[in-house]
Amino acid sequence: MTTFHDPRKALAAVFAVLLAASAAALADDVQDASKLLKSGQHQQALERVNRVLAAKPKDAQARFLKGLIFAEQGNAKDATDIFLLLTRDYPNLPEPYNNLAVIYASQGQYDKARASLEQSIRTHPSYATAYENLGDVYAKLASQAYDKALQIDSANPVAKNKLALVRELVGGAAPAKPAAATVAAAPSPKEPATAPALVAAAEAKPAPEKSAPERPAGATTGNAEVLDAVGAWAKAWSSKNVDAYLAFYARDFKTPGGETRPDWEKARRQRIGAPKSIAVTIEAPKVSVDADGQASVTFRQGYRSDVIKSSTTLKTLIMARSDGRWLIRQERVGN
Amino acid sequence: MSLRRAWPRLAAAALLLVACSGQAAGPTPALSGAGPESALSGVLEAIEANRPDLAMQRVEALLAAHPNFRLAHLIRGDLLMARARPLETFGNVPKTVPREKVEDLRAEALLRLRALRERPNGDRVPRYVLQLHAGQTHALVVDSRRSRLYVFENVGGRPQFVADYYVSLGKNGVEKTREGDQKTPIGVYHVTANLPRQKLIDFYGAGAFPINYPNAWDRRLGRDGHGIWLHGTPSDTYSRPPRASDGCIVLANADLEAVGRSLQIGLTPVIIADEIDWTDGAALEAERTALAGAFQAWRADWESRDTGKYLAHYAARFNSGDQNLADWSAHKRKVNGAKSWIKVGVTRISMLQYPRESFVVVSFDQDYRSSNLSNVMRKRQYWIKDDGRWRILYEGGA
């Protein structure tokens, strides 16, 4: 994994076709279905998606969403079928591989999960969610190997699965086209009731939500402070000053995998501690502040270390002021 | 996010393991054969060479052939875990696992690795096997500290190294003295029977070869217990931890089968030592020559009917069954005085140094003829260096 090649051109081509094929009205239906799913209204979401698919049976966005609905409903078989067909029809998209892997892992099929995640990463070498998931799958496979070594049964390994489903089909490295002042997405109001083990990691929106009015007014004054905080955060990370880095995360920070704060901090310490050198850069940051004073910063994050030569991710930090400092409440990868 | 990030630590853990195994200076001797143990060594070599993918390939090939090789599963676990996060140790299992379970496998890894890196070269022989007789094809010598059984072939009466195997021994170590002490005896024994797989439960694996514990020396010291066997491994595991049995010597099933082909019931010596005392061929030859001279002098003095010279070969602490030296002397003076001639033939002589003791077990076929009595028997004597002279400590039928 010392070199990465960039598959963006191929993906961009795929997306040009996809986007052209999607009629605007149907796109609205997909958006609506996505929102319904987030609010836990699986059945209504499914109806919208089926409406889209009746008109456009090959629509990748709608098929992906349908797979996601099935996955969250606990219907692993139908979800698997959909994601599997998506990987065949669009072998260059990383998300279906990732979600397929999440389902395999939830069934304890870690070898299949591993193969699928490795495929996802081959498709898109800097795909953060797939890497995180693959790390967990390797840990599970290791745990199974240890069980065989020690002739013990580990307690209910499937229940401990906490791999992240990707919620949006965006092609990972597809050119980002967010509006300049994107309104921060509200955190999901409910955890999916039927599949508590599946935790959403990447909920960032590729397009502004129509239902949420933009409110940039009166919020510009804080922008410089927010950018300073983001810069200082990147600096602490780059200098491997883990304590300073962790101090940028608010007490109510929503951990990406839903893990406990101590677990998350421990993992971060390990990941930041392992390479000899790290360089994190912030490019083209865009700040928006909502009426409640919460800031959303979206930027291209460059990451280099002696282990990963380079990777670029689109990142969004949701930040809030606390005791005079801007602290991170959510951190999202992907666009 | 990197598959490689945790890797250097695994390599370090493996190197630590290698360092602990006390690698001898100089080139590593070539491995013989392509058994699972040399495959395991190949895995660790790939780790040392910082080639994790090759190591993974090799360990998976090893597991395909030996799905119950627990140590290989442990290393595969480490190879996978290294991709997820940095390893803290060799056998990086969760902290919740009982420590002793992992320690057993670590100990097995160290012992196997050490044995592969410290294989005997052609010139080194164990001090114990002074002489094998023509009818004995092989001798087994167990190094308890290394959990290793060495097979030697009889070449002109001298031991020549053939193969060695990992073995599990008693939970409580060695020097068995009491029934139920879960220890492996130290001493010179021989196999007494061949119990095939069909006659045994799965626990004994591919078969079993009982040995003659307690032997005459053990009985003299009042040691008890019984049922010390060489045997195989249950079907659910390729091997057992180094200290796992109730005193038996346990081999992997394929290894037991290989060793079994060299065993002769009632003949093949099984010498169990703490740590093998290795020597060179010349030193062994000098020891053997000195003892053989004393033994032939004993025979000649018996034939001479000079009972005083004959009895001078017996140590003050001598015994034979319930006879001490005084009883023995009185008996021999009476018997020998009544004869006009004696002829003593000795053939099929073996000489085995007893581990931990200063005597040598000499076994031979004795063809005794005299003016009034003849008999042929297999005999055993313990010869001990007494005031710089070889003397007989024990004598009896074998």
Residue B1 inside a domain? The answer is: no
CATH superfamily of A8-175: Tetratricopeptide repeat domain (1.25.40.10)
pLDDT score of A220: 44
- The reply to whether residue A271 touches residue B1, judged by beta carbons under 8 angstroms, is yes
Q: What are phi and psi of B275, to 5 degrees?
A: -140, 130
DSSP symbol at A249: B
Averaged pLDDT score across all residues of chain A: 75
> Quick one: which of A111, A165, A17, B78 has its CA closest to A119?
A111
Domain boundary among B79, B95, B117: B117
Q: What are phi and psi of A129, to 5 degrees?
A: -60, -40
Quote the CA–CA distance of B375 and B392 in Å, as a whole number.
21
pLDDT score of A273: 81
* Same domain, yes or no: B130 and B261: yes
Tens digits of residue pLDDT in A140-168? 898 888 888 887 766 444 444 567 888 77
Handedness of CA A252, A257, A258, A259 (dihedral sign): negative
Residue B267 inside a domain? The answer is: yes
* Same domain, yes or no: B189 and B331: no
Tokens coding B75:
């290393």
B397 bridge partner residues? B379
Looking at CA atoms only, how far is residue A198 from chain B in angstroms?
19
Q: Answer whether A288's CB lies under 8 Å from A184's CB.
A: yes
* Same domain, yes or no: B142 and B262: yes
Q: In what order do the strands lie in the sheet with A325-333?
A: A278-289, A295-305, A311-322, A325-333
* Same domain, yes or no: B132 and B85: no
Quote the CA–CA distance of A101 and A168 in Å, as a whole number.
15
> Per mean pLDDT, which of A11-20, A86-95, A221-230, B22-31 is the most reliable?
A86-95
Taking each helix axis as running N to C, give the angle between helix A94-106 and helix A110-123, from 0 to 180 degrees, rounded to the nearest 10: 170
**The domain spanning residue B214 has which CATH number?**
2.40.440.10
pLDDT score of B11: 56
List, by residue range, all CATH 1.25.40.10 domains of chain A. 8-175
Region A82-105: mean pLDDT is 93
ipTM above 0.90, yes or no: no
Contacts with B354 (C-beta within 8 Å, 6 or more apart), sequence order: B128, B187, B188, B217, B360, B361, B382
* Same domain, yes or no: B172 and B250: yes
Least reliable range by pLDDT among A10-24, A86-100, A268-282, A293-307: A10-24
| Count: domains in chain B | 3
Q: How confident is the model at residue A172 (pLDDT cuts 50, 70, 90)?
A: very low
Averaged pLDDT score across all residues of chain B: 89
pLDDT score of B12: 54
* pLDDT greater than 70 at residue A185: no
pLDDT score of A275: 78
Looking at domain A220-333, its CATH class is alpha beta
Asked if B100 reaches chain A (Cβ–Cβ under 8 Å), the answer is no
Q: Give the three-class secondary structure for A326.
A: strand
pTM attached to this predicted model: 0.67
Region B67-94: mean pLDDT is 90
Q: How confident is the model at residue A3 (pLDDT cuts 50, 70, 90)?
A: very low
Residue B47 inside a domain? The answer is: yes
**Could you give the angle at the alpha carbon of B346 between the alpha carbons of B344 and B347, nearest 5°?**
150
pLDDT score of A201: 33
- Using DSSP bridges, classify how beta strands B269-273 and A295-305 pair: parallel, antiparallel or unpaired: unpaired
**Could you give the angle at the alpha carbon of B147 between the alpha carbons of B145 and B153, nearest 5°?**
110
Least reliable range by pLDDT among A102-116, B77-91, B188-202, B215-229: B77-91
Listed in order, strand segments (DSSP E) in B295-334 are: 314-320, 323-324
Quote the CA–CA distance of B231 and B244 in Å, as a whole number.
13
* pLDDT greater than 50 at residue A195: no
* Same domain, yes or no: B311 and B370: yes
Least reliable range by pLDDT among A5-14, A293-302, B292-301: A5-14
CA dihedral of residues B205, B210, B211, B214 (deg, nearest 10): 120
Q: Give the three-class secondary structure for A248.
A: coil
- The reply to whether residue B2 touches residue A136, judged by beta carbons under 8 angstroms, is no
pLDDT score of A307: 66
Q: Which residue has the higher pLDDT, A8 or B302?
A: B302
Domain boundary among B117, B133, B148: B117
Q: In what order do the strands lie in the sheet with B269-273?
A: B158-166, B148-155, B138-143, B269-273, B187-190
Residue B211 inside a domain? The answer is: yes
pLDDT score of B5: 44
> Quick one: which of B382, B127, B84, B60 has its CA closest to B275?
B127
Region A15-23: mean pLDDT is 50
Of A132, A135, A307, the CB nearest to B4: A307
Asked if B52 reaches chain A (Cβ–Cβ under 8 Å), the answer is no
Q: How confident is the model at residue B2 (pLDDT cuts 50, 70, 90)?
A: very low
Asked if B120 reaches chain A (Cβ–Cβ under 8 Å), the answer is no
Region A34-59: mean pLDDT is 90
Across chain A, how many H-helices and E-strands are there?
11, 6
* pLDDT greater than 80 at residue B281: yes
Range of the domain at B58: 7-117
Tens digits of residue pLDDT in B134-192? 999 999 999 999 999 999 999 999 999 999 999 999 999 999 999 999 999 999 999 99
- The reply to whether residue B84 touches residue A308, judged by beta carbons under 8 angstroms, is no
Quote the CA–CA distance of A201 and A181 in Å, as a whole number.
22
* pLDDT greater than 60 at residue B295: yes
Count how many Cα atoms sit within 13 Å of the Cα of residue A291 in the half-sphere of its side chain: 5
Looking at CA atoms only, how far is residue B207 from chain A in angstroms?
24
Burial A62-79 (b: 16+ CB within 10 A, else e): bbbbbbbbbbbbbbbeeb
**The domain spanning residue B393 has which CATH number?**
3.10.450.50
* pLDDT greater than 50 at residue B273: yes
Of A145, A271, A274, the CB nearest to B73: A145
Q: Give the three-class secondary structure for B311.
A: helix
* Same domain, yes or no: B130 and B257: yes
Contacts with B86 from chain A: Cβ below 8 Å? 270, 273-274
Residue B142 inside a domain? The answer is: yes
Q: Answer whether A65's CB lies under 8 Å from A48's CB.
A: no
- The reply to whether residue A152 touches residue B101, judged by beta carbons under 8 angstroms, is yes
pLDDT score of B98: 81
Chain-centre distance for alpha carbon B222: 23
pLDDT score of B215: 92
Q: Which residue has the higher pLDDT, A185 or A126?
A: A126
Residue B264 inside a domain? The answer is: yes
List, by residue range, all CATH 3.10.450.50 domains of chain A. 220-333
Of B76, B97, B237, the CB nearest to A145: B76
Least reliable range by pLDDT among A206-210, A242-246, B208-212: A206-210
Q: How confident is the model at residue B230 (pLDDT cuts 50, 70, 90)?
A: very high
Phi-psi region of A324 (alpha: psi -120 to 50; beta: other; left: phi over 0): left
- The reply to whether residue A150 touches residue B105, judged by beta carbons under 8 angstroms, is yes
* Same domain, yes or no: B159 and B110: no
* Same domain, yes or no: B271 and B129: yes
Q: Answer whether B82's CB lies under 8 Å from B7's CB.
A: yes
Tokens coding B108:
């097995």
- State which amino acid sits at residue B9: R
Region A190-206: mean pLDDT is 33
* Same domain, yes or no: B175 and B271: yes
Asked if A145 reaches chain B (Cβ–Cβ under 8 Å), the answer is yes
Contacts with A271 from chain B: Cβ below 8 Å? 1, 5
- The reply to whether residue B80 touches residue A142, judged by beta carbons under 8 angstroms, is yes
Residue B153 inside a domain? The answer is: yes
* pLDDT greater than 50 at residue B197: yes
Q: How confident is the model at residue B238 (pLDDT cuts 50, 70, 90)?
A: very high
Q: Give the three-class secondary structure for A317.
A: strand
Quote the CA–CA distance of B338 and A101 in Å, as a whole number.
96
* Same domain, yes or no: B74 and B130: no
Tens digits of residue pLDDT in B243-259? 999 999 999 999 999 99
Tens digits of residue pLDDT in B354-395? 999 999 999 999 999 999 999 999 999 999 998 889 999 999
Region A235-245: mean pLDDT is 89
Asked if A155 reaches chain B (Cβ–Cβ under 8 Å), the answer is no
Contacts with B262 (C-beta within 8 Å, 6 or more apart), sequence order: B137, B138, B140, B151, B153, B162, B268
* Same domain, yes or no: B46 and B147: no
Q: How confident is the model at residue A264 (pLDDT cuts 50, 70, 90)?
A: confident
